[in-house]
Amino acid sequence: MSWLLALPIVIPFITAVLAFLFRVSSWGRWISVAGSSVLLAASIALMNAVLREGVIAGQMGQWPAPFGITLVADLLSAVMVVITAIVAVAVSIYAIADVDEGMERLGYHALFNMLIAGVVGAFATGDLFNLYVWFEVMLIASFGLLVLGGRPEQIDGGVKYVALNLVSTIMFLTGIGLLYGMTGTLNMADLASAVDGADQRLLTVVAVLFMIAFGVKAAVFPLFFWLPASYHTPAFAVSAVFAGLLTKVGVYALLRTFTLIFDHDTAFTHTILLWVAGFTMVVGVLGAAAQSDMRKILSFHIVSQIGYMILGLALLTPLAIVGAVFYLVHHIVVKANLFLIAGVAQRIAGGTELSRIGGLYKSAPLLAVLFVVPAFSLAGFPPLSGFWAKFLLVKAALEIQGWIIAGIALAVGLLTIYSMTKIWAQAFWEPHPDGVEPKLSLLSSRDRAAMLVPIAGLAVLTVIIGVMPEPFVQFAEASAAQLLDPSAYIAAVLGEQP
C-alpha cells in the first residue's frame, strides 16, 4: 500500500515541476488546477484505504522501520491530507483570477504546489527528522510565495516571518539532535516506547524545545508575532492557503508529538499548554478587536482559534481530542474561505481597510451570503461547523471542571462575533464612502467564476459539516481514539510485536 501513501506527496511535486516549465504560458494555472484535482482524488483513495484497513504504513526504499523513512497514515493524517487537497483545489482555482501574469512568470504555481507537497509530507511522515525536512520544504516555498511581487510591505512582513520561522526551525533541529542522543531513534512510533528508558527530566526539557519550535509554527501566545506582521501582505490566494494550512501543520505536529512521544509528564507539559491555549485565545481575539483592516482582523483570529485547538490537546481527555481534531478540520475550511472572500471584497470594493469600503450587502448580496456562512461558523453559531467544534471543546472543559478555561472559550467566542459584526457592519452594511457600488459584475465573467466557485464550495462544505455533524464527530472520535491509544499506529509502523 505504500504507493498510496507516497502518491499525495509525489503528485504536487510533479505538478510543481510541470508548472515551473510552463510558467510563461497560461498553461501553468491549468496544470496547477489539474494537479490539485488529481491530488484530491489520491487523498480520497488514501482516506478510503485508511477507513477500510486502519493505520497504513509504508517503508520508503524497503528499509524496515525504525531504520528507514516511514510514511504512515492514521485517520488524523488521512483527513489532514484530504482537507489540504480540498484547500489546494479551491485556491488553485481562485488563483486563476487572483494571481497576475507577473507572479505566474516568477513561478507562483510551482511554489504553491511545492508548498502543498511540504504540507502533505509533514502530515504523512512517521519520522521526526523527515518531518523537519518537510517543514523546510514548506518553509522555503512559503518564503517565496510571501515576497512574490516584492512590494515594500511584503518585504517587511517577509523579514519577520523568515526570521522567527528560522529560529523555530533551529530549535526543532536541536530538539531532534538531543532526542536522538537520548534514545537512538527518530522514528515516531519507535520513540513512543524508546523514551520510557530515557532520563525523564531531560526528556521534559526536550519536550519544551519541541513545544516552542512547533508553537512558533502554530502561532501560539507568546510566539505568534510573525503572523499578524506578514499574513496581510501577500496576494490573497497566498494568504488564504497560509491561513488555512501553515499554522495547522504546527498544531498537527504538536498534536502528534504530545500524544505519541511526550506524554510522560502531562502534569507539567500539558499545564503549560493549557495556559498557552488560554492566553492565545484571549490575546488573539483582543488583537483582532483593535484592527481595522479585514485581513489583519482575520489574521489575529487565526491566532485566537489556534488557542482552541491547543486547548483540546492540553485537556487531553478523549472528548477534548475529538474537539481538537474537529476544530482543526473545520477551521482550515472556514479560515481559507474568509481570506478568499476578503480578496473578492478587495477587487470589487477597492480595499480591505474597513473605513474605506462598504455597500457590499446591497450591491453584492451573493457575496454577503457567502461571507455570513464562514464568519458565523468562525464565531460558533449553530448550526454551522464552528458551533459543534466549540461545543465539543467547552463540554470537554466542563467535564473535568475546568470552569475558568470553559468560560474563557465562551467569552472569546463572543468577542469573535464582535469582530465579525464589525466587518459585516462596515464592509457590507454601510454605504461605500466613495459612493461606488461594489457589484460582482465589476469582475470579468471568468474571474467571477474562478473566485466565487471555490468560495461557494467551501461554504457548502461548512454547512454540510454543520448540518450533519454526526459522521464527522464519529470520525473525530475514531481519530482521537487512535491518538490516545497509539498501539495500532505503532503496530502498523514497526510490525506486530510480542
- Which of 174, 204, 266, 317: binder of another protein (CB under 8 A)? 174
Which of 169, 193, 266, 317 lies at the binding interface for another protein (CB under 8 A)? Answer: 169
* In the complex, minimum distance from the CB of residue 38 to another protein, in angstroms, rounded to a whole number: 28
In angstroms, what is the minimal distance from the CB of 388 to another protein? 34
- Beta carbon of residue 353, minimum distance to another protein (angstroms, whole number): 9
Q: Which of 82, 111, 229, 476 binds another protein (CB under 8 A)?
A: 229
Q: All 3 cell numbers of residue 218? A: 502554530
Which amino acid does the sequence have at 262? F
Count Cβ atoms below 10 Å from residue 140 Cβ, excluding itself.
15
Q: Which of 64, 181, 431, 495 forms a contact with another protein (CB under 8 A)? A: 181
Q: How far is the CB of 33 from another protein (least distance, A)?
A: 28
Instruction: Judge contact between 320 and 393, C-beta under 8 A.
Output: yes
Return the closest-CA partner of residue 190 out of 128, 122, 131.
Answer: 128
The count of C-alpha atoms lying within 13 angstroms of the C-alpha of 239, restricted to the half-sphere facing its C-beta, is 28
Q: Is 180 in the site for another protein (CB under 8 A)?
A: yes
Between 2 and 169, name the residue whose CB sits nearer to another protein: 169
Please identify, using beta-carbon distances, which residue of 170 and 404 lies nearer to another protein.
170
Could you tell me which stretch among 235-243, 291-299, 332-340, 438-446 binds another protein (CB under 8 A)?
A: 291-299
Residue 142's nearest CA partner among 126, 154, 125 is 154
Burial 276-302 (b: 16+ CB within 10 A, else e): bbbbbbbbbbebbeebebbbbbbbbbb
Distance in Å, CB of 157 to another protein, minimum = 4
- Judged by beta carbon, residue 443 or residue 494, the one nearer another protein is 494
Rounded distance, CA 269 to CA 149, Å?
41
Cβ proximity to another protein, 176 vs 452, nearer residue: 176
CB of 141 to another protein, least distance (A): 11
Pick out residues in 304-323 that bind another protein (CB under 8 A). none
Which residues in the 27-46 window bind another protein by CB under 8 A?
none
Neighbours of 193 (CB within 10 A): 15
Q: How far apart are the C-alpha atoms of 96 and 108, rounded to whole Å?
A: 11
Cβ burial of 446 (10 Å; 0-12, 13-18, 19+) is: exposed
Instruction: Give me the residue label for grid cell 489540504.
Output: 84
CA 389 to chain centre: 15
Length of the chain: 498
176: contact with another protein by CB under 8 A? yes
Q: By CB under 8 A, tell whether 437 contacts another protein.
A: no
36 or 113: whose CB is closer to another protein?
113
Q: Which residue lies nearer to another protein by CB, 1 or 166?
A: 166
Residues ≥6 apart with Cβ < 8 Å to 460 = none
Minimal distance in Å, beta carbon 163 to another protein?
6
Q: Are 248 and 328 in contact (CB under 8 A)?
A: yes
The answer to whether the CB of 343 falls within 8 A of the CB of 455 is no
Q: How far is Cα 89 from Cα 104, in angstroms, rounded to an integer? A: 17
Task: Please state the closest distance from residue 222 (CB atom) to another protein, in A.
Answer: 16
What amino acid occupies position 444? S
Nearer to another protein, 2 or 174 (CB): 174
Q: Name the one range near another protein by CB under 8 A: 4-12, 166-174, 262-270, 338-346.
A: 166-174
Q: Measured from the CB atom, is 172 or 489 closer to another protein?
A: 172
Cell of 315: 485537556
Pattern 135-164, binding to another protein, x per CB under 8 A?
Answer: -x--xx--xx--x--x-xxxxxxxxx-xx-
Cα–chain-centroid distance for residue 101?
27
Number of residues that bind another protein (CB under 8 A): 44
Name the nearest CA neighbour of 109 among 144, 74, 57. 144
Rounded Cα distance between 258 and 211, Å, is 9
Q: Which of 43, 70, 230, 482 binds another protein (CB under 8 A)?
A: 230
Among 44, 106, 133, 484, binds another protein (CB under 8 A): 133
Give the three cell numbers for residue 219. Answer: 502561532
Residue numbers 339-378 binding another protein by CB under 8 A: 355
Separation between Cα atoms, residue 431 and residue 358, nearest integer Å? 5
**CB of 129 within 8 A of CB of 186?**
yes
- Smallest gap from Cβ 338 to another protein, in A, equals 20
Of the two residues 132 and 210, which places its CB atom closer to another protein in the complex?
A: 132
| Binding-site member from 20, 129, 279, 391 for another protein (CB under 8 A) | 129
Is the CB of 262 or the CB of 472 nearer to another protein? 262
Place of cell 488514501: 46
Interface positions with another protein (CB under 8 A): 129, 132-133, 136, 139-140, 143-144, 147, 150, 152-160, 162-163, 166-167, 169-170, 173-174, 176-178, 180-182, 228-230, 232-233, 290-293, 296, 355
